[in-house]
Amino acid sequence: GQQLNQSPQSMFIQEGEDVSMNCTSSSIFNTWLWYKQDPGEGPVLLIALYKAGELTSNGRLTAQFGITRKDSFLNISASIPSDVGIYFCAGQLGSGAGSYQLTFGKGTKLSVIP
């Protein structure tokens, strides 16, 4: 089945720094998604990407859908303490049987030092 490799596994950064994390896949996905999970909560969708090469921003967050459709990255600019949490990438086939299934990476745990 599909596998998503997400890196880094964890990051410790100073407040105000920029952050970058990425996901790579052995398979092609037609949709890439980035979620954030706070402790004790379910993941919350941050950005959805639908087209190869697409670059989308949501406030201080920017994500790109790789041209090969096998990778995506998420950047967070000028990090603040509330950015702390676990960030997950997820891929979706978007067509065919099981297209509704999301395949998740193992997450990047972000810690921000004030």
**Is residue 72 at the binding interface for another protein, with CB under 8 A as the rule?**
no
DSSP state of 63: E
**Is residue 85 at the binding interface for another protein, with CB under 8 A as the rule?**
no
List 25, 85, 88, 110, residue binding another protein (CB under 8 A): 88
One-letter amino acid at 91 equals G
**Is residue 13 at the binding interface for another protein, with CB under 8 A as the rule?**
no
One-letter amino acid at 84 equals V
> Which element (helix H / strand E) includes 26?
none
Nearer to another protein, 77 or 102 (CB): 102
CB of 8 to another protein, least distance (A): 14
Rounded CA separation 86/68 (Å): 26
Burial zone of 21 (CB within 10 Å; 0-12 exposed, 13-18 middle, 19+ buried): buried
List 41, 59, 96, 114, residue binding another protein (CB under 8 A): 41
List 28, 44, 78, 80, residue binding another protein (CB under 8 A): 44
